[in-house]
Chains A and B, each alone.
Chain A
């Protein structure tokens, strides 16, 4: 395979695939490098009902369609690829990928998205898949008639807590603050559900169990008193963190490790653009990622054309 491309896109979610569609349609030689499977956070969504022009679609299907579109227009896609090294300086930028080799390009688009935020407390790794889950739609039915905790206070946490009452006999929402960040209607729905109760201003500090999770230790953030709760499952829904570790010290990041861009999705490095959930912005939706991907793709086309 020829290892030199016009543009290399890091990330194969909604933003990266959209940029790939625009670039390859503009006859730019485009490589999309993806750490996981194409689709990004889209495939985390069981059903997307607010994507304009499409009444309702599964996230997996929407992601697959975007991937096929990018490939049809000529983009090359590498999945499950681990970045070994990255050089974004100068006119010719380069990246080395495990098991694939080194690739160069005139421009880069960083669209690495985000990942579920873990609690980072003892026992979390041990009981992942054995009582601890980050996906209510995936694992909810393992907790039929069980008692579970949902950690978080945002839209996802409250919405999923309500949906988990279809399976669980009791759902306890544990949240670190004395108020929720979720929209009012999610809060009202959760508060009106008789199966849901609340432990506010508290955090889980440790998970316990044998083969399976069976207990958590909770700290009250106000009194700093500890309590233990017997529990069958815990769903951790405390948002996402941007996948920008590899860019630290290379591109300019906010204190939340989000990539800072201009309105044209340019970073502080010439020829390096960023798009989607890894960038600093307020609203993270498939539609906003698609918009970022479009802008970054068109901006990269212009940048590369001017270099030729």
Chain B
């Protein structure tokens, strides 16, 4: 099962790991089709063409495979969907919880990955 977005869907932990090996900069939003998550997917869809140096993807929070994100130490204190992860060279460089604005997302992308 995947999310109803136009982003690349990550369905398994193995495919996320493969994506991290193949891409220097990766942003993954792990959530549901809920009110706090949908705006973040929308922002990512909007930014996808603008940030060619970043791979954008989503992952269904309730999938057992999403334990790779749910159990990540960077998310230990999180209690709000979505969990949004930013990876550089396979390592988590930033993680956010709950809804984020366009400005918050672009600030992180520019700071962590450049444009």
A residues apposed to B, CB below 8 Å: 36-39, 43-46, 58-60, 79-80, 82, 128-133, 135, 137-139, 142-143, 211-212, 233
Q: Of the candidates B33, B37, B42, B98, which one forms a contact with A133 in the assembled complex, judged by CB atoms under 8 Å apart?
A: B98
Q: Given the known A-B contacts A129-B80, A142-B80, are A80 and B102 also in contact in the complex, defined by CB atoms under 8 Å?
A: yes
Q: Would B98 and A79 count as touching, CB distance under 8 A? A: no
Q: Of the candidates A39, A43, A60, A139, which one forms a contact with B81 in the assembled complex, judged by CB atoms under 8 Å apart?
A: A139
Q: Would B81 and A211 count as touching, CB distance under 8 A? A: no
Q: How many A-B residue pairs have CB under 8 A?
A: 72
Within 8 A of A (CB), among B14-59: 32-39, 41-43, 46
- A142: chain B residues within 8 A (beta carbon): 79-80
Give CA–CA (A143, B41) in the complex, Å: 24
Scoring B77, B80, B96, B102 by chain A CB atoms within 10 A of each residue's CB, the highest score goes to B80
Q: Would B102 and A129 count as touching, CB distance under 8 A? A: no
B1: Cβ under 8 A from any A Cβ: no
Q: Given the known A-B contacts A79-B46, A80-B102, are A130 and B34 also in contact in the complex, defined by CB atoms under 8 Å?
A: no
Within the complex, what minimum Cβ distance (angstroms) separates B68 from chain A? Answer: 18
Q: Would A37 and B38 count as touching, CB distance under 8 A? A: yes
14 pairs from A and B in contact (CB 8 Å cutoff): A37-B39, A38-B42, A45-B35, A60-B33, A80-B42, A80-B43, A82-B103, A129-B80, A129-B97, A130-B80, A133-B79, A138-B34, A139-B80, A212-B77
B interface secondary structure, majority: loop
Q: Would A60 and B42 count as touching, CB distance under 8 A? A: no
Q: Of the candidates B35, B42, B96, which one forms a contact with A138 in the assembled complex, judged by CB atoms under 8 Å apart?
A: B35
- A80: chain B residues within 8 A (beta carbon): 42-43, 46, 102
- B98: chain A residues within 8 A (beta carbon): 128-129, 133, 139
Q: Would A43 and B35 count as touching, CB distance under 8 A? A: yes
Give CA–CA (A132, B76) in the complex, Å: 15
Give CA–CA (A79, B43) in the complex, Å: 8
Q: Would B79 and A212 count as touching, CB distance under 8 A? A: yes
Q: Of the candidates A36, A58, A59, A212, which one forms a contact with B39 in the assembled complex, judged by CB atoms under 8 Å apart?
A: A36
Q: Would B77 and A211 count as touching, CB distance under 8 A? A: yes
Scoring A43, A132, A212 by chain B CB atoms within 10 A of each residue's CB, the highest score goes to A43
Question: Which residue of B is nearest A142, CB measured?
Answer: B79
- B77: chain A residues within 8 A (beta carbon): 130, 211-212
- B41: chain A residues within 8 A (beta carbon): 37
